[in-house]
Amino acid sequence: MPSDFQLKTMNAVHRAIIKLSFGKLGWDKLMGMPGLELTTVGRKSGEKRSVMLTSPVQEGDNIVIIASRGGDPTHPAWFLNLRDNPKVEVSYMGGPKKSMVAEIADAAERARLWPKVTTDHKNYADYQTKTDREIPVVVLKPA
């Protein structure tokens, strides 16, 4: 499981690739998935917090993200932030930031989406085997 340092380093490298390539690299086909920048409001600080993520499934204007944290036993901070305040901003594939609402998939929605996620991206199924927590599926919807 990745440490906080490793996760922050991966995010910094991802941002550097985007910046150094003037946005030509780093948005498409990251581990076979499109990339996005998710901005949440910190649940403790009240400050905006951004993280680079990938989306294994898209349905129309909805973007699905997975709070896996590599199979770590704790949820990622961005998930805890959007759980407490679901109003987020998303820059999808380097596009302009858009206001969206994050909805944590309920059991039925997760049961529908999880097979779509793991069919093409088996790493998520592997992450689930590493932890006792159910890895949350989040659907980002236009505000």
pLDDT tens sequence across 61-86: 999 999 999 899 999 999 999 999 99
pTM of the model: 0.86
Token pair belonging to 97: 């930031």
CATH class for the region spanning 4-142 = mainly beta
Contacts of 115-120 spanning 24+ positions with Cβ under 8 A: 116/56, 116/57, 116/64, 117/56, 117/57, 117/64, 117/66, 120/32, 120/56
| The pLDDT of residue 93 is above 80 | yes
**pLDDT band at 11; cut points 50, 70, 90:** low
CA distance 118 to 69: 15
Per-residue confidence (pLDDT) for residue 18, from 0 to 100: 65
Share of the chain above pLDDT 70, in %: 81
pLDDT tens sequence across 12-23: 676 667 666 656
Token pair belonging to 50: 């951004």
